[in-house]
Amino acid sequence: MFYHSENEFKESCGYVIDDTWYPRVTKIVDIKSKPSLYQFYSSVGFTNGNKIKEQSASEGTLVHEYVEKILLGENPTPPLVIKPAIDAFSRFFERSNIEAYPDLIEKRTVHYDFRYAGTVDALVSMNGRFGVLDIKTSKAIYRDYNLQTSAYFDALKSQFQNLEVRWILRIDQESRCQNCGALLRKKGGREKISRPFPDNGVCPADKHVWNDTQGVVELKELPSPHYEDFEAFLGAKKLWEWENSFWLKKIGYL
């Protein structure tokens, strides 16, 4: 990515904490190749793809906001655009033994040894275990998330001696065709139809009969210990530093 100034680079790629700048975990992880993202841009075009990404990010931020309200014991009324997803999470939360803490929501953390920073969605207790909870609004749980959560975990482990687990909580919404079982996912102003059962075929575009949109909640525990994922994260960090060495040298990080 092109940057016009040192300040633009610093604001885009990191945080200033106690007068020291640190690169952001999510920016570091972005250095990893994402073939599906390239296919997405190829199918919709660069300009349109950026618009879809921006709207999707806005919708994802909205989901995060309402999930965090529920974690803290509130009973918010979500906007219609995300209501199925939030209703599904509310039902999940009611039957799950999750305990959240106000000062551990959107928790900023710094790894002083490896010099990076990040913001954890939440640190929670679940069924007697304390860990990192990372909320995603993606179509699936991708392995890339292992790198991000391992970075948070390693930065927090000395501060929280009882930290023992990493979870991904995926929250989404979709409609299913009554005739062929195809799934319709509306995200970022785009409608995407997928075929979970390809052998069954799929209806012609004008023959789908869509059920009401339903929320989807998926919880996944990531591997323990986190060391293998963290080594991969540090490898990504090294590559990110190499890619951005011009600016990192100018701001005195390297």
Domain of 48?
6-169+217-250
What per-residue confidence (pLDDT) applies to 81?
Answer: 93
Residue 183 belongs to some domain of the structure: no
CATH number, domain containing residue 242:
3.90.320
Asked if the structure places residue 105 within a domain, the reply is yes
Q: Where does residue 213 rank: exposed (0-12), middle (13-18), buried (19+ CB within 10 A)?
A: middle
Cα distance between residue 185 and residue 166, in whole Å: 27
- Residue 207 inside a domain? The answer is no
* Dihedral sign of CA atoms 66, 70, 73, 76 in order: positive
Asked if the structure places residue 149 within a domain, the reply is yes
Nearest-angstrom CA–CA distance, 131 and 240: 27
Q: How many domains does the chain have?
A: 1
35 occurs within a structural domain: yes
Residue 36: predicted pLDDT: 63
Distance CA 127, CA 98 (A): 7
Is residue 224 situated within a structural domain?
Answer: yes
pLDDT tens, per residue, the chain with 254 residues: 789 999 999 999 999 999 999 999 999 999 986 656 556 556 667 577 567 667 777 889 999 999 999 999 999 999 999 999 999 999 999 999 899 999 999 999 999 999 999 999 999 999 999 999 999 999 999 999 999 999 999 999 999 999 999 999 999 999 999 988 999 999 888 889 887 766 667 788 788 999 999 999 999 999 999 999 999 999 999 999 999 999 999 999 99
175 lies in some domain: no
Residue 91 located in a structural domain: yes
